[in-house]
Amino acid sequence: MTPNIARPVIRLLDEAAINRIAAGEVVERPASAVKELVENALDAGARRISVDYSAGGKVLIRVTDDGCGMSPEDLPLAVARHATSKIDGSDLLNIHSFGFRGGALASLGSVGRLTLTSRVAGAEGASLSVTGGRIGAVRPASAPPGTVVELRDLFYATPARLKFLRSDRAEAGAVADVLRRLAMAEPNVGFTLTEVSEGEAPRVILRLDPENGDFFDALQRRLTRLLGAEFTANALRIEVERDGLRLSGYAALPTYSRGTSVQQFVFVNGRPVLDRMLLGALRVAYMDVLSRDRHPAAVLNLICDPERVDVNVHPAKSEVRFREPEAARSLIITGLRSAIAGAGHRASSTVADATLAALRPEPPRVYQMERPSGASLSRAMAFQAPGFAEAPSARAEFAPPVDESFPLGAARAQLHENYIIAQTEAGIVIVDQHAAHERLVYERLKRQMAEAGIKAQSLLIPEIVELSVTDAARLLAIAADLVPLGLTVEAFGGSAVAVRETPALLGNVSAKALLADVLDELADHGDSASLRSRIDAILSRMACHGSIRSGRQMRVEEMNALLREMEATPLSGQCNHGRPTYVELKLSDIERLFGRR
């Protein structure tokens, strides 16, 4: 027999339950509420926006703006579901505003105690309250032009949601992060963030005045306030347009990289997004100049016709879908790579700052000087004796004078057989010869590869290399792809391979060591990386084999030739892994180290 099972009854949910379900999609935490309210203020044309919060936004969120305001008749509509002034519903792809669904205020009023006070310039002000979804009456209120939205006791009507919130400090940090992102999108708008606590004076967390002038100048000043002067001092201006798409903003030099992705901000038509495709394109753009454990820093806005991007694919509008995703991805990659290459040999100023900090002397000791050891005394006496000689750690050669007006100056000495000291008109440059030459060889290999493939040199006697069965199979699977790189590998029986040709540019190299690096690179990239990415990574490893090694003595002519090639080579300010190839110290900074200024 069929067991008696109670048939479920389909019922229509009441308005309060519907609003609370909708609120769960839109308002995940206090920061989500702040985002919705501030975006409403921006859509209203506000030039100054203030956000006050208490207990991380759990107890109080108050957003005040000087926008166009609302009339008393508008207030009941403003807190109704699916009521909005931003679209007419006929075209959900032609979105020009932050908000368009008309659900934020209704959702907030359903889970908290919401008070809406607003006034249109030249008219009377009014106020309306919504508590747990129950809408009160419109009342007269005294208020300046604009709108004040006050939300108290967030999630009081759905207390279970409170258990999923983090500490007050963590929620406050998320609120500040949301406001910073919106402030980057709108540098001409002023923002103030204040923490208010009962019995304590209000504490201003963030104050940003409206920036005036050209958009890029305004954005640069805003980013200096938000990300620090180091970022803007080491950032490249990005402005590129293609096929109706425009990319603008600032991207940092590879040598100004971060340990995490915290300084990556992407916007689409001014809307902050956390889109995996766009962030992935940013990562790919720096792949050639950063090691895998470092992250680029950038603030980028992708501008396009609203009908070419769908912003209605995520409840929080944090993800978007492009009609031509490859065009957007390609613009980011090529635009950033072009800007980085155009920076030439430039390296970040933070490298010089760190160098100067390391060179600054320690505070003088105030205790009695230690007695020198017997070995130190003997060495000091021997130094004063006639005929004393010691192997120098620095070499200086005299050669015909070189023009110091070159960006990287004229070579004067080599220290520890690895560091070239060059003199410029305004200071000195210290070059890591191995890192610099590694980048130069890499760029030469890429140029050869792009033009006609890399020239190979045939080995008189093929070098036989024993590998594991797995490594041999992996290497032989891409053997055809290695031939244009100047590396010819064939099966030799069992798990051995025969190396018949190596890249001519590398000179005499160990085939066994070269194959080991190629295999390491394949293991690091895996099968998910594109062929182009794998080839570039292999070329980078090859370049390391063909570069000037640490410990090699160089003549002055060789050092100057290296400096001139660096000046003419894109990306020469950093090695293949994103580390700086040189440090520049201004004479004024050096004089300060010795107390001359």
- What is the per-residue pLDDT across 403-443, written as a single tens digit (0 to 9) for each? 778 889 999 999 988 899 999 998 999 999 988 888 888 88
Which pLDDT does position 560 carry in this prediction?
92
Gyration radius of the chain over CA positions? 32
What's the CA gap between 478 and 499, in Å, rounded? 14
Task: Check whether residue 198 and residue 220 sit in a common domain.
Answer: no
Percentage, residues of the chain above pLDDT 70 = 78
Pairing relationship of beta strands 456-466 and 488-491 according to DSSP bridges: unpaired
Instruction: Give the Cα-Cα-Cα angle 235, 238, 243 (nearest 5 degrees).
Output: 160
In a domain, 382, yes or no: no
For residues 75 and 118, the answer to whether their CB atoms sit within 8 Å is: yes
- Give the burial class of 30: count Cβ atoms within 10 A of its Cβ; 0-12 exposed, 13-18 middle, 19 or more buried: buried
Q: 390 falls in which pLDDT band (50, 70, 90)? A: very low
Q: Where are the beta strands (DSSP E) in 433-476?
A: 456-466
Tens of pLDDT, residue by residue over 45-57, are 999 999 999 999 9
* Residues whose CB falls within 8 Å of the CB of residue 468, separated by 6 or more in sequence, listed in order: 495
In a domain, 195, yes or no: yes
Q: What count of residues does the chain have? A: 597
Percentage, residues of the chain above pLDDT 90 = 41
* Residues whose CB falls within 8 Å of the CB of residue 23, separated by 6 or more in sequence, listed in order: 107, 108, 110, 111, 158
In a domain, 595, yes or no: yes
Write the CA distances from 303 to 188, 267, 300, 319, integer angstroms. 18, 8, 10, 15
Domain that holds residue 285: 215-342
Give the position of tokens 């790189």. 485
Phi, psi torsion values for 377, nearest 5 degrees: -65, -45
Task: Check whether residue 304 and residue 161 sit in a common domain.
Answer: no
Task: Check whether residue 237 and residue 180 sit in a common domain.
Answer: no
- Of 107-111, 511-515, 527-531, minimum mean pLDDT range: 527-531
Q: 520 falls in which pLDDT band (50, 70, 90)? A: confident
What's the CA gap between 567 and 562, in Å, rounded? 9
Q: 232 falls in which pLDDT band (50, 70, 90)? A: very high
- For 31, the token pair is 């920061």
Which pLDDT does position 591 carry in this prediction?
84
The overall average pLDDT reported for the chain is 82
Which pLDDT does position 369 carry in this prediction?
43
For residues 438 and 543, the answer to whether their CB atoms sit within 8 Å is: yes
What's the CA gap between 535 and 531, in Å, rounded? 6
For residues 582 and 432, the answer to whether their CB atoms sit within 8 Å is: yes
In the sheet that holds 456-466, the strands lie side by side as: 456-466, 496-503, 488-491
CA nearest to 39, candidates 376, 247, 345, 273: 273
Task: Check whether residue 158 and residue 226 sit in a common domain.
Answer: no
- Secondary structure tally for the chain: helices H, strands E: 18, 24
Give 17's Cβ-side CA count (13 Å radius): 4
In a domain, 389, yes or no: no
Report the C-alpha dihedral over residues 443, 445, 447, 451, rounded to 10 degrees. Answer: -170
- For 327, the token pair is 């065009």
Which pLDDT does position 419 carry in this prediction?
93
Please indicate whether residue 467 or residue 62 has the higher confidence score (pLDDT). Answer: 62
Give the position of tokens 């919106």. 182
- Domain boundary pick from 159, 193, 208: 208
What's the CA gap between 269 and 326, in Å, rounded? 17
3-state secondary structure of 528: coil
Task: Check whether residue 137 and residue 244 sit in a common domain.
Answer: no
- Of 70-79, 454-463, 542-551, 564-573, minimum mean pLDDT range: 542-551
CATH assignment at residue 125: 3.30.565.10
Task: Tell me how far apart the terminal alpha carbons of the chain are, to the nearest angstrom.
Answer: 99
Q: Where are the beta strands (DSSP E) in 180-328?
A: 190-195, 203-208, 235-242, 245-252, 264-268, 271-273, 298-303, 309-310, 321-322
Task: Check whether residue 461 and residue 571 sit in a common domain.
Answer: yes
- Over residues 475-479, the mean pLDDT reads 89
- Of 116-120, 121-125, 174-178, 360-364, minimum mean pLDDT range: 360-364
Which pLDDT does position 11 carry in this prediction?
66
- Domain boundary pick from 163, 191, 208: 208
Query: Total domain count for the chain?
Result: 3
In DSSP notation, 281-314 reads HHHHHTTTTS-TT-B--EEEEEE--GGGEE--SS
CATH assignment at residue 335: 3.30.230.10
In a domain, 546, yes or no: yes
- For 153, the token pair is 């006791």
Which pLDDT does position 186 carry in this prediction?
95
SS (H, E, C) 394-408: EECCCCCCCCCCCCC
Task: Check whether residue 420 and residue 285 sit in a common domain.
Answer: no
Which pLDDT does position 301 carry in this prediction?
96
Tens of pLDDT, residue by residue over 281-337, are 999 899 888 877 789 999 999 999 888 888 766 555 667 888 888 999 999 999 999
- Of 81-85, 198-202, 279-283, 549-553, minimum mean pLDDT range: 81-85
3-state secondary structure of 198: coil
In a domain, 1, yes or no: no
Which pLDDT does position 86 carry in this prediction?
47
What's the CA gap between 69 and 480, in Å, rounded? 67
CATH assignment at residue 580: 3.30.1370.100
Instruction: Give the Cα-Cα-Cα angle 434, 440, 445 (nearest 5 degrees).
Output: 120
- For 113, the token pair is 């105690």
Task: Check whether residue 111 and residue 172 sit in a common domain.
Answer: yes
- Domain boundary pick from 176, 208, 240: 208
Task: Check whether residue 248 and residue 143 sit in a common domain.
Answer: no
Phi, psi torsion values for 246, nearest 5 degrees: -130, 130
Q: In what helix (H) or strand (E) does residue 428 lie, and over which residues does it extend?
A: strand 427-432
Task: Check whether residue 80 and residue 222 sit in a common domain.
Answer: no
In DSSP notation, 537-553 reads HHHHHHHHHHSPPTT--
Task: Check whether residue 473 and residue 514 sit in a common domain.
Answer: yes
What's the CA gap between 450 and 547, in Å, rounded? 20
Write the CA distances from 478 to 357, 490, 538, 596, integer angstroms. 47, 11, 12, 60
For residues 422 and 585, the answer to whether their CB atoms sit within 8 Å is: no
Q: In what helix (H) or strand (E) does residue 179 lie, and over which residues does it extend?
A: helix 168-185
- Over residues 493-519, the mean pLDDT reads 84
pTM, 2 dp: 0.71
In a domain, 180, yes or no: yes
In DSSP notation, 109-148 reads HHHSEEEEEEE-TTS--EEEEEETTEE---EE----SEEE
In a domain, 247, yes or no: yes
Which pLDDT does position 559 carry in this prediction?
93
What's the CA gap between 577 and 536, in Å, rounded? 12
pLDDT at position 382 over 70: no
Task: Check whether residue 447 and residue 534 sit in a common domain.
Answer: yes
pLDDT at position 360 over 70: no
CA nearest to 240, candidates 301, 173, 182: 301
What's the CA gap between 71 and 81, in Å, rounded? 18
- Of 342-351, 426-435, 483-492, minimum mean pLDDT range: 342-351
Tens of pLDDT, residue by residue over 22-35, are 555 567 899 999 99
Where residue 296 falls (left for φ over 0; alpha for ψ -120 to 50; beta otherwise) is beta
- For 459, the token pair is 């080995």
Pairing relationship of beta strands 60-65 and 146-152 according to DSSP bridges: antiparallel
Q: Can you say how many angstroms the Cα of residue 330 is from the centroid of all Cα atoms in its chain?
A: 18
Q: 9 falls in which pLDDT band (50, 70, 90)? A: low
